Amino acid sequence: GKKTILVHSDNVEDGIGARVKKAVELVVAALRMGFFGVALAIPPSGSLLHPAGAQDWPHGAVWCHESSAESPDPPNPREPNFPLACWRFDFQPDFLAQSSAPEVRTLLWGGPQNQTILSAASIDRFNCMHFGGDDAVPADAAWKFHRREAPLVKEGRPMDVLARLFASARTFSAADAQLQGRREARCGFGDAGAVHVAMHVRRGDVSETSGYNVPEQLGARGLAEWLCSLASALELDSGGSRQLLLHVFTEAVGRSRRALRRAVQRGAMPGFTFKEQFGDDAEPLYHTLGTLEVAPTCGQVVSSDVHFVVNNNPREALLCMARADVLVTSFSSLGWVSALLNEGLVFHPGMDQKPQLLQIETHWDLRDQYLDWAPNWFRVGDVNSRGPELRRIRAVARNSP
- Residue 129: the pLDDT is 76
Distance CA 263, CA 261 (A): 5
- Residue 74: the pLDDT is 72
Identify the residue with better confidence: 337 or 62: 337
**For 258, which DSSP code?**
H
Instruction: Say if residues 302 and 243 touch (Cβ distance below 8 Å).
Output: yes
Question: Is a pLDDT exceeding 80 seen at residue 253?
Answer: no
Distance CA 215, CA 238 (A): 23
Identify the residue with better confidence: 207 or 146: 146
Average confidence (pLDDT) over 196-212: 80
Cα-Cα-Cα-Cα dihedral sign, residues 323, 267, 16, 360: positive
What backbone torsions phi and psi does residue 213 show, to the nearest 5 degrees? -115, 160
Distance CA 80, CA 303 (A): 36
Residues constituting the chain: 401
- pTM (predicted TM-score): 0.93
Average confidence (pLDDT) over 258-267: 90
What are the angstrom distances between the C-alpha of 205 and each of 75, 79, 286, 350, 355?
A: 10, 12, 19, 21, 15
pLDDT in tens, 28-40: 999 999 999 999 9
In one-letter notation, the amino acid at residue 290 is G
Q: How confident is the model at residue 75 (pLDDT cuts 50, 70, 90)?
A: confident
Q: Residue 72 contacts by C-beta under 8 Å, 6 or more apart in sequence?
A: 81, 253
- Residue 47: the pLDDT is 47
Three-state secondary structure call for residue 129: strand
- Residue 123: the pLDDT is 74
Instruction: Say if residues 293 and 72 touch (Cβ distance below 8 Å).
Output: no
What count of other Cβ atoms lies within 10 Å of the Cβ of residue 129?
Answer: 13
Identify the residue with better confidence: 258 or 73: 258
Q: How confident is the model at residue 314 (pLDDT cuts 50, 70, 90)?
A: confident
Burial (Cβ within 10 Å: 0-12, 13-18, ≥19) of residue 324 = buried
- Residue 45: the pLDDT is 61
**For 104, which DSSP code?**
T
What percent of the residues of the chain are helix, what percent strand, and what percent coil, each to the nearest 5? 35, 20, 50
Phi-psi label, residue 17: left if phi above 0, alpha if psi -120 to 50, beta otherwise:
alpha
What backbone torsions phi and psi does residue 170 show, to the nearest 5 degrees? -75, -35
- Residue 387: the pLDDT is 93
pLDDT in tens, 6-54: 998 887 778 888 889 999 999 999 999 999 999 999 887 644 445 555 5
- Residue 386: the pLDDT is 94
Identify the residue with better confidence: 162 or 52: 162
- Of 97-111, 178-192, 284-298, where does mean pLDDT reach its minimum? 178-192
